[in-house]
Amino acid sequence: MVKENNMEKWLPGPQVDGPSNFNSEDSNGDPTYISWLEKHPCAISSFDRMTSAVKGKQVVVFLDYDGTLSPIVNDPDRAFMSDPMRSAVREVARLFPTAIISGRSRDKLITFIYIIIYIYIYIQVHEFVKLDEVYYAGSHGMDIMGPPALHLKSYDGKYQTNTIDDKGNETTLYQPAKEYLPSIKKILKELKRRACDVPGAFVEDNMFCISVHYRHVLDEDYGTLEEIIGEVVSEYSSSFHLTRGKKVMEIRPSIQWNKGNALLYLLQTLGFSDSANVLPIYIGDDKTDEDAFKVLRVRGEGYPIIVSSVPRETSASHSLRDTSEVLSFLVRLAAWGEDALS
């Protein structure tokens, strides 16, 4: 494998730590935002201080997709990562165990990324095992695919399936909502039939959840769409519930599982469930990422990082303004990791 680090060319400026290089305050004069940044400082300006806490711990990286690795776009089917971002994720995943946890379906997520990313799992005697896959968790963590998992007593084995991928590698699927698939298919069919009457509405099949995008729906038509979704969901109210995101409404199974649970599952799979020698980093921009932020807060370890250019209530400890700052942070993390592991 090529070990040379070519990521610095993607940085928008010098890599010297400190607010003079990546100072979000200078780019936004809103005093409310500046005050918010005092509570959730820029992860780039704080980079040296954050990495000083590693001290032999294993860094594990968790990333949301839309709004984090790819900008929010008008057409959900065209939410592709840029080449620099793809390179940055590849470098980070080459150095640290890495997982992408998204509301998208796992298959669509892999299609969007469209690369083979190398990850290393930190195990006993401080060796690294190279794998051909990053962990992918689609449907807000309800569809997880990764390398073979250890026997996990705290998780129901009926949701875990060992399988072989198209390259002949053994992988593990964990799908805690798979018993809801028949109902999801019925809801999807009904929503597609009824939502087609609302111009601009787009119903997306994300396997274990259904996303209804209304970015192109006129204000005067939004009420009609909301009513349609409400009526459909009410028929399955004992098993499904409605959540809201950025110009999207989602129908999800009513199970005790979210991105925070997916994070804990992956940490346990990696052997870090009760370990004090791990430092998780989770970067996300959506309300659903708050569940993962809260998990890290409760564990009292790691860095939950929110992607937002406006003040908002969050359990994150640090912030990044947008995907360009996510790119800068990942590039810097890869460069730091290259030095730390050399």
Look up residue 52 and give its DSSP letter: T
For residue 247, what are its two tokens? 């110009």
Q: What is the Cα–Cα distance from 270 to 130, expressed in whole angstroms?
A: 13
Cα atoms in the 13 Å half-sphere on the side-chain side of 135: 32
Residue indicated by tokens 């003040």: 311
In DSSP terms, 204 is beta-bridged to: 211
Are the C-beta atoms of residues 100 and 69 closer than 8 Å to each other?
yes
Residue 339: CB atoms within 10 Å: 9
Q: What is the Cα–Cα distance from 75 to 230, expressed in whole angstroms?
A: 24
φ and ψ of 302, to 5 deg: 85, -175
For the chain, which residues score pLDDT lower than 50? 1-27, 112, 114-133
| Residue 270: predicted pLDDT | 81
Beta strand residue intervals within 73-166, DSSP E: 98-101, 119-122, 128-131, 135-138, 143-146, 160-164
For residue 32, what are its two tokens? 């409310």
Nearest residue to 206 via CA among 109, 296, 331, 91: 109
Instruction: End-to-end CA distance of the chain: give it in Å, rounded.
Output: 14
| Residue 304: predicted pLDDT | 98
| Residue 111: predicted pLDDT | 53
Distant-in-sequence contacts of 313-319, Cβ < 8 A, 24+ apart: 314/40, 314/290, 315/290, 316/40, 317/40, 318/40, 318/41, 318/42, 318/43, 318/46, 318/50, 319/24, 319/36, 319/37, 319/40, 319/41, 319/42, 319/43
| Residue 5: predicted pLDDT | 42
